[in-house]
Amino acid sequence: MRSSGMNSNTNAFEAQVAALSAKLAPEIMNQHVAAVSLIHLPGNQPPWRGTGIQVTRGQAFSLFASGRLQWSAQMPERHGGPKFHMWARITPGGQIVNLTQNTGSFIADRNGELELGIYMGVWKNAQGELATPTKLYARLSGSLTCWVVAWRNDPASGLAALVRLQPDSWFLTAEMVRYASPIQKPAGWKYLIETGEADIFTAGHVESTPSIELDADDDQGIITTPIEIALNPSTTLSWRWRAETLPSAVAENTVHTHDYFSIATEFDNGRDLTWIWSASLAPETHFDCPIRAWTPRETHLVVRSGTADLGVWHCERRNVYQDVAAAMGPPPRKIVRVWLIAVTSFQHRRARASFANIVLTNDQCEVTVL
């Protein structure tokens, strides 16, 4: 039933695109639209495909997408849509960008052809080379469909012109709203390129104290901020957090249930340790990330468990050196970044939480992260 519903949505999307394309009179093309293309991306074909649209540096383009990719033939509930899978770049040499919703607008970072890609695995670099094998795509079924519009000027005026042509277009209206009021990530933080941009972390305040708010509905993202502090037996990480909704009702240590939120430190050896609020795993439980591409890199350690403490602020303090030694082995020399992580895309649930008063200390210094 899920597949039929998604096919119906995609067919309706394509019908709206066809109807709108038929209305693109010369005056619209001359004033607002430089080029359009409807692209179909089968999930099992890795990962990049040209659109045939040439853009110049500084030119705006928008993507409007529909569809679903199934991750497993045996588990139909495992799937992702455009905001998980759809990426773009200008080739040759452009930096990859991704949808955070089913629509998005971007600025070309160079001259070249606009390409669309399906994300599956881990990127090797910001140009969209894969760090994981292309055989991961073989298990995907389904497809994404994307209508690409290259603009002659600012997307706002072009979107308004197209909405006047077709007021009932959900995707045009959605992008007008998103473009006019984009969700801003917290100052001083950026999303990890390996997992892409998202709309799930925002800046907030708890009374007069800065906070970072998390609201992730069937989504994922990792924000990071650079830090440099020596990791020695005195190094501690302290923070406050409040959870409103946990993204899993079961243990998060399997590949099918790995929905969680956490705070993490990244070390100078490229590995990271994350402290999670688990649904059911006992505090002090630790496990390597069950996602194969992340297993060598990431380890999780449970700090708090269950739902009894929801809705209340809790203060945490961890000796990072001791936790690394217990969960990961010999500690590296220093901490280089702090992360906030949320994943809710496996079970398609929602996570809502707040973070504040993040501080790293050792016997030499104290660093206020948030």
Q: What is the pLDDT of residues 129-161, one digit of tens each?
A: 999 999 999 999 999 999 999 999 999 999 999
Q: Band of the pLDDT at 3, cuts 50, 70, 90?
A: very low
Closest-CA residue to 207 (of 242, 245, 246): 242
Residue entry with tokens 């639209």: 33
Q: Does 213 share its domain with 163?
A: no
**Looking at the structure, do residues 88 and 115 belong to the same domain, yes or no?**
yes
Q: Are 253 and 259 in contact (CB under 8 A)?
A: no
Mean pLDDT of 13-33: 91
When pLDDT is averaged across residues 262-270 and rounded to a whole number, the result is: 98
Residue 224, in any domain of the structure:
yes
Which of 126, 155, 180 terminates a domain? The answer is 180
pLDDT surpasses 50 at 1: no
What is the mean predicted confidence (pLDDT) over 289-315?
97
Mean pLDDT in residue range 248-252:
98
Helix (H) or strand (E) holding 303: strand 298-305
Position 8 confidence tier, pLDDT thresholds 50, 70, 90 = low
Spatial contact of 145 and 67, defined as CB atoms under 8 Å apart: yes
Starting at the edge strand found earlier in the chain, the sheet holding 86-91 runs 48-55, 112-118, 86-91, 97-98
pLDDT of 55: 98
- The phi, psi pair for 209, rounded to 5°, reads -100, 130
Region of 142 please: left (phi>0), alpha (psi -120 to 50) or beta.
Answer: left
Q: Is residue 83 part of a domain?
A: yes
pLDDT number for residue 74: 87
Cross-strand partners of 275: 263, 301
Give yes or no: residues 297 and 208 share one domain: yes
H runs (alpha helix) in 38-168 = 82-85, 155-165
Task: Please list the residues that pair with 313 across neighbouring strands.
Answer: none
By C-alpha distance, which of 338, 271, 325, 332 is closest to 298? Answer: 271
Calculated CA dihedral for residues 274, 275, 276, 277, nearest 10 degrees: -170
Query: Per mean pLDDT, which range of 74-78, 171-175, 254-258, 278-282 is the poorest?
Result: 74-78
Residue type, 293: A
Pairwise CA distance, residues 184 & 337, whole Å? 20
Shared domain for 323 and 301, answered yes or no, is yes
Q: What is the mean pLDDT of the chain?
A: 95
- DSSP letter at 196 equals -
Q: What is the pLDDT of residue 280?
A: 97
**What pLDDT does 72 receive?**
87
For residues 32-46, give the mean pLDDT.
95
Q: How confident is the model at residue 66 (pLDDT cuts 50, 70, 90)?
A: very high
Evaluate if residue 106 carries a pLDDT over 90.
Answer: yes
pTM, full prediction: 0.93
Helices 170-180 and 155-165: angle between axes, nearest 10 degrees: 150
Rounded Cα distance, 128 and 140, in Å: 19
Residue 75 belongs to a domain: yes
CB 352 within 8 A of CB 204: no
Interval 305-364: pLDDT, tens = 999 999 999 999 999 999 999 999 999 999 999 999 999 999 999 999 999 999 999 999
pLDDT at residue 10, rounded to an integer: 74
What one-character DSSP code corresponds to residue 250?
S
Residues above pLDDT 90, as percent of the chain: 91
124 shares its domain with 210: no
List the structure tokens of 329.
Answer: 């082995």
Per the structure, the count of domains in the chain is 2
Same domain, 324 and 280: yes
The CATH number that applies at residue 256 is 2.60.120
Domain end, chosen from 130, 155, 180, is at: 180
Confidence of residue 73 (pLDDT cuts 50, 70, 90): confident
CATH number of the structural domain spanning residue 62 = 2.60.120.430
Is 22 contained in some domain?
Answer: yes
Q: Given a cut of 80, is residue 222 above it in pLDDT?
A: yes
Residue 5's pLDDT is: 47
Which residue shows structure tokens 């739902």? 307
Considering the domain architecture, whether residues 287 and 247 belong to the same structural domain is answered as yes
Helix, strand or coil, per DSSP, at residue 332? coil
Q: State residue 37's pLDDT score.
A: 96
DSSP 313: -
Beta carbons within 8 Å of 142's beta carbon, 6+ residues apart: 3, 6, 43, 67, 68, 69, 70, 79
Answer for the pair 116, 96: CB distance below 8 angstroms, yes or no. Answer: no
Query: 276, 254, 272, 252: which is closest to 263 by C-alpha?
Result: 276
pLDDT (0 to 100) of residue 7: 63
Tell me, yes or no, whether 185 lies in a domain: no
Which range, 131-140, 200-209, 240-249, is most confident? 240-249
The pLDDT of residue 27 is above 90: no
Question: Residues 168, 196: one domain?
Answer: no
Are residue 174 and residue 238 in the same domain, yes or no? no
- For residues 86 and 111, membership in a common domain is answered with yes
| Residue at a domain's end among 145, 162, 180 | 180
Q: Residue 173 pLDDT > 60, yes or no?
A: yes
CA separation (Å) from 43 to 85, 218, 286? 9, 19, 34
Dist CA 11 CA 214 (whole Å):
33
Q: Are residues 325 and 194 in the same domain?
A: yes
Residue 229 belongs to domain spanning: 190-368
DSSP class of residue 243 equals E
Q: Are residues 229 and 171 in the same domain?
A: no
